[in-house]
A and B are shown apart, each in its own frame.
Chain A
Amino acid sequence: MSEKNKDSQWPLWEVFVQSEQGGPHIHAGSVHAPDPEMALQNARDVYSRRNEAISLWVVPSVSITATMPSDQGPFFDPASDKIYRHPQFYHVPKGLK
């Protein structure tokens, strides 16, 4: 993160695009901009110029707390090796619809 922000440009913003009503805002990429309004405009021009969006969010990249690659094992692995954590593990009792 710190390396990424060391450039001499404007602050970085992450862009989230919603493409249909009720759908999620999905991360599309990032833009540089001096302030929120300009970040929205840049996001519109870079990520929605061909009609991809009905709503846009921009978030200062520094506000995002993210996992580190080294977290991968402790964070995510325990979920995948215990099949009884998944609903498919359990059989639906007979007679239940």
Chain B
Amino acid sequence: MKLDNNVKNALFEFLLRMGDDRLILGHRLSEWCGHAPVIEEDIALGNIALDLIGQASAFLNFAAGVEGKGRTEDDLAYFRNETEFKNLQLVEQPNVDFAHTIVRQYFFDVYSNLVLTNLTSCPVNELAGMASKSLKESKYHLRHSKQWLLRLGDGTDLSNEKTQNAVNNLWRFTKEIFDIDETEKLLIEKGIVPEMSGFREKWLDSINKTFMEAKLKLPEDNLDFSAGSRNGFHTEHLGHLLAEMQILARSYPGAKW
């Protein structure tokens, strides 16, 4: 598919967003390795982390190709600075505890399923292919996080309290998920990314249903908080994460192991 330069730039941006979401969330989940509450869950979180990093690798590799400046997926992952990362603020939030991890994951999984399902009908074949491969994984991730959310919310008083607390803390990072900016508008207009209107409603609808069942309350809608992570604005947590994630590649450029 032959693309104009401005469309190409927009597609590059969009692929960075998809890739960065998964890279950063994957890294966050990997921090649980050896620390999860039970060994089965340790393995489960590790599996999901690996899935997400695999997806990130595919999106960033394609992004590097679209950009056409000779960068590789590793250059994009390890040699960009904080403000050049386009992931959602939601996914960079720290693990805090198991409840925060599961709530963050559930919010992302519902969103990810919507976006990936949508992208499977994208006319850019590579992107459609990546989306349908990732969607399979993402469906399992959603099943995992949803089942946990139901059990934590509708578990003991303490597990409910911790989960509600996590919901309240993370809620403000969910609004920007559905902001559609010029980049996405252009891609939608050119028919590269299918129409995404109504996503927030669908997302809210799923969250609502699960919350009812999990005996969790949707926080008051005080969502005037629009974060702008898609343009490189982040919370303080991303820098620390990147320092750890990138130090090896930056200290020993080209290292192989």
Which residues on A are within 8 Å of B, measured CB to CB?
9-10, 31-34, 37-38, 41-42, 44-46, 49
- Measured in the bound complex, the distance between the Cα atoms of B147 and A33 in whole Å is 12
User: Is A41's CB under 8 angstroms from B147's CB?
Assistant: yes
For the complex, is B162 an interface residue (Cβ under 8 Å from A)? no
Residue from the set A37, A45, A49 with the largest chain B CB neighbour count within 10 Å: A45
Q: How far is the CB of B40 from chain A (nearest CB, A)?
A: 4
- Measured in the bound complex, the distance between the Cα atoms of B39 and A42 in whole Å is 9
Q: 8 nearest interchain CB pairs? A: A42-B40, A45-B44, A45-B43, A49-B47, A31-B40, A45-B47, A46-B43, A37-B147
B41: A residues at CB distance < 8 A: 42
User: Is A32's CB under 8 angstroms from B40's CB?
Assistant: yes
Contact of B44 among A32, A37, A41 (CB under 8 A): A41
- A9-B38, A10-B38, A32-B38 known; A49-B147 Cβ under 8 A: no
For the complex, is B200 an interface residue (Cβ under 8 Å from A)? no
Q: How far is the CB of B146 from chain A (nearest CB, A)?
A: 10
- Measured in the bound complex, the distance between the Cα atoms of B47 and A73 in whole Å is 44
B43: A residues at CB distance < 8 A: 42, 45-46, 49
Nearest residue, chain A, Cβ from B44: A45
User: Is A45's CB under 8 angstroms from B40's CB?
Assistant: yes
For the complex, is B8 an interface residue (Cβ under 8 Å from A)? no
Nearest residue, chain A, Cβ from B43: A45
Q: How many contacts between A and B, using CB within 8 angstroms?
A: 27
A33: B residues at CB distance < 8 A: 40
Which residues on B are within 8 Å of A, measured CB to CB?
38, 40-41, 43-44, 47, 140, 143-144, 147, 151
- Measured in the bound complex, the distance between the Cα atoms of B43 and A49 in whole Å is 9
B144: A residues at CB distance < 8 A: 41
- Measured in the bound complex, the distance between the Cα atoms of B147 and A45 in whole Å is 14
- Measured in the bound complex, the distance between the Cα atoms of B249 and A87 in whole Å is 66
A38: B residues at CB distance < 8 A: 147, 151
- Measured in the bound complex, the distance between the Cα atoms of B40 and A37 in whole Å is 13
- Measured in the bound complex, the distance between the Cα atoms of B47 and A44 in whole Å is 10
20 further A-B pairs in the complex, CB-CB below 8 A; given A42-B40, A45-B43: A9-B38, A10-B38, A31-B40, A32-B38, A32-B40, A33-B40, A34-B151, A38-B147, A38-B151, A41-B44, A41-B143, A41-B144, A42-B41, A42-B44, A44-B140, A45-B44, A45-B47, A46-B40, A46-B43, A49-B47
- Measured in the bound complex, the distance between the Cα atoms of B40 and A31 in whole Å is 7
Nearest residue, chain A, Cβ from B147: A37
- Measured in the bound complex, the distance between the Cα atoms of B147 and A38 in whole Å is 8
Q: How far is the CB of B43 from chain A (nearest CB, A)?
A: 5
Q: How far is the CB of A42 from chain B (nearest CB, A)?
A: 4
- Measured in the bound complex, the distance between the Cα atoms of B158 and A40 in whole Å is 25
Q: How far is the CB of B35 from chain A (nearest CB, A)?
A: 16
B47: A residues at CB distance < 8 A: 45, 49
A9: B residues at CB distance < 8 A: 38
- Measured in the bound complex, the distance between the Cα atoms of B47 and A46 in whole Å is 9
B38: A residues at CB distance < 8 A: 9-10, 32
- Measured in the bound complex, the distance between the Cα atoms of B40 and A38 in whole Å is 10
Nearest residue, chain A, Cβ from B140: A44
A46: B residues at CB distance < 8 A: 40, 43
Nearest residue, chain B, Cβ from A37: B147
- Measured in the bound complex, the distance between the Cα atoms of B149 and A37 in whole Å is 13
